[in-house]
Amino acid sequence: MAEVTYNGLTFEPYITRDAIAEQVKRVAAEIRRDIDPGEIPLFLCVLNGAYIFAADLFRECGIQNAEIAFIRFKSYEGTSSTGKINEVMGLDTDIKGRTVIIIEDIVDTGLTADHLRRKLLEQQPKRVAMATLLFKPDSLKAGEAPEYVGFNIPSKFIIGYGLDLDGLARNLPDIYVLKS
Ligand code: 5GP
């Protein structure tokens, strides 16, 4: 795998598509194990970055009766968080008494995740849990650690497999890290 350049920034290969697929499988098995027989969980994909992970994870879970919905926030500009969370697209599905599995691409400060969890809990779901492909534990400022994690990573900027730099690089099948 070669380095890639976007907007004048160079990124080096970090996680291969095979390693991602392996962790998607493991996380899916963990989620499946925690779903009670007969329930219809709602998977809630946080757009935009989580859409590829969500598509792979949702299918890999293989739960016969499961729903998926989408919500959108924006807190990043360039390679750092603005600290402010703007809800761009809200949730219109009733979640009262249901298990909700939030699907995130990456949890960095945890501000987005914490904000979303609080909003969902107001609607009295049975359980809210979060699955994230990537987690930066050293950056966590708010809320709890995600229940299901693909990879714990250091606090570095990542692109690929859905994660962008100003809208670009989401279509890279592997994950890359900003060269220091
Ligand atoms: P948080 O609220 O946890 O700080 O950040 C959540 C959002 O910021 C993620 O869903 C993602 O969109 C963006 N983000 C955080 N870290 C990174 C990163 O390393 N790369 C990219 N491309 N986006 C990130």
Say whether pLDDT at 148 is over 90.
Answer: yes
Cα 106 to middle of ligand 1, angstroms: 5
Q: How many whole angstroms separate alpha carbon 77 and alpha carbon 86?
A: 12
Q: Over the stretch 21-45, which tens digit does the pLDDT of each residue have?
A: 999 999 999 999 999 989 999 999 9
* Model confidence band, residue 71 (pLDDT cutoffs 50, 70, 90): very high
123 close to 64: Cβ distance less than 8 angstroms: no
* pLDDT (0 to 100) of residue 142: 87
* pLDDT (0 to 100) of residue 88: 58
Mutate to test the pocket of ligand 1, among 9, 12, 72, 108 (most ligand atoms within 8 A of CB): 108
CATH number of 20-166: 3.40.50.2020
* pLDDT (0 to 100) of residue 76: 58
**108 belongs to the catalytic site:** yes
Give the contacts of 118 (CB within 8 A, at least 6 positions apart).
none
Per DSSP, the three-state class of 160 is strand
pTM: 0.92
Cα 104 to middle of ligand 1, angstroms: 9
Percent of the chain at pLDDT > 70 equals 91
* pLDDT (0 to 100) of residue 75: 62
Domain ranges of the chain: 20-166
Cα 135 to middle of ligand 1, angstroms: 10
Q: Over the stretch 79-96, which tens digit does the pLDDT of each residue have?
A: 666 666 666 567 888 899
Per DSSP, the three-state class of 78 is coil
Q: Over the stretch 127-140, which tens digit does the pLDDT of each residue have?
A: 999 999 999 999 99
**Whose alpha carbon is nearest atom 24 of ligand 1?**
106
